[in-house]
């Protein structure tokens, strides 16, 4: 972007690029001044006061932050639009649901129901139709066979990243499905389920205690102020703490 300003000592109009300092300044009436004056105008010895005080690195960081914020807003708008379109197609979604991305609701979203306060990570896939019938549907005996199933996620559930939900399952309420799981059977209330096929591995209360045992000491104010810097200095445990196994010896299954 080009800004036009007037130099206090030289008549004429001058222009410069605000992101990289003064690039060029050409007077309309005094182009034949001595070299020292031209250097001052060009900012080689001392930049004009209108140039600003930000350094190049600060300017780049500021532009990057604005760019990230714009992308974040565009992404949120795309998710809202996608959820609105699926609602128009018949899916039932309760209040206070959160989506990291637009789930793969498939071609029959009206067979899907989400309760209140459901949180869903990215790349979650809902399969409401069993397409395997294609193998034998050409035979007269099975010509009329169709297999569909409703998928119900009840209140206060979390569905992890890249979870696949097969026809006819119900999850929750108050349950968590771990990332990468394939849900072929219904998940009971109040459990953490994982695996292929997904099955309960511990209760939500045990999961909460596990998470508490694995939480390192950290400065809450610093974490709220600068999450990245706080996490980079944080000492993280790589596995389930031993004291959790002592308190809940039957919580997990091999």
Domain residue ranges of the chain, discontinuous segments joined by +: 2-50, 54-88, 91-211
Q: Is the pLDDT of residue 113 over 80?
A: yes
Residues 102 and 193: their CA atoms lie apart, in Å, by 22
| Per-residue confidence (pLDDT) for residue 42, from 0 to 100 | 47
Q: Is the pLDDT of residue 13 over 50?
A: no
Given the residues 7, 134, 138, 245, select the one marked as catalytic.
Answer: 138
CATH number for the domain whose boundaries are 91-211 = 2.160.10.10
Catalytic residue flag (residue 138): yes
Quick one: average pLDDT of 74-93? 91
What DSSP element (H or E) covers 87? helix 56-88
pLDDT digits (tens, 9 = 90+) for 164-191: 999 999 999 999 999 999 999 999 999 9
pLDDT more than 70, % of the chain: 71
Residues 199 and 229: their CA atoms lie apart, in Å, by 37
Give the helix ranges, DSSP H, for 194-241.
Answer: 204-214, 220-225, 227-233
Higher pLDDT, 89 or 243: 89
Tokens 């004291």 label which residue?
Answer: 243
pTM to 2 decimals? 0.68
Supply φ then ψ for residue 75, to 5 degrees: -65, -45
90 vs 19, 83, 86, 116, 150, CA distance in Å? 49, 11, 6, 17, 13
List Cβ neighbours of 241 (8 Å cut-off, separation of 6 or more): 213, 214
Residues 159 and 179: their CA atoms lie apart, in Å, by 7
Quick one: average pLDDT of 29-42? 49
């Amino acid at each position: 972007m080009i800004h036009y300003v007037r130099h206090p000592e030289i008549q004429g109009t001058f222009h410069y690029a605000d992101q990289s300092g003064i690039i060029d300044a050409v007077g309309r009436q005094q182009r034949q001044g001595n070299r020292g004056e031209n250097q001052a105008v060009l900012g080689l010895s001392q930049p004009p006061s209108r140039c600003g005080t930000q350094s190049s690195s600060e300017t780049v960081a500021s532009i990057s932050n604005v760019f990230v914020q714009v992308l974040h807003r565009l992404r949120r708008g795309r998710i809202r639009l996608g959820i609105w379109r699926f609602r128009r197609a018949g899916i039932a979604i309760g209040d206070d649901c959160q989506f990291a991305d637009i789930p793969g609701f498939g071609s029959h979203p009206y067979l899907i129901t989400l309760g209140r306060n459901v949180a869903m990570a990215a790349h979650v896939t809902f399969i409401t139709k069993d397409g395997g019938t294609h193998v034998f549907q050409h035979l007269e005996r099975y010509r009329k066979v169709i297999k569909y199933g409703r998928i119900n996620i009840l209140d206060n559930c979390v569905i992890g990243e890249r979870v696949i939900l097969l026809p006819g399952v119900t999850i929750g309420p108050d349950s968590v499905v771990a990332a990468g799981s394939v849900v072929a059977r219904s998940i009971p209330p109040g459990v953490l389920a994982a695996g292929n096929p997904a099955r309960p591995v511990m209760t939500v209360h045990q999961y909460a205690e596990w998470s508490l045992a694995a939480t390192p000491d950290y400065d809450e104010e610093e974490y709220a102020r600068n999450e990245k810097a706080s996490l980079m200095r944080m000492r993280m445990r790589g596995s389930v703490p031993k004291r959790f196994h002592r308190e809940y010896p039957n919580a997990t299954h091999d």
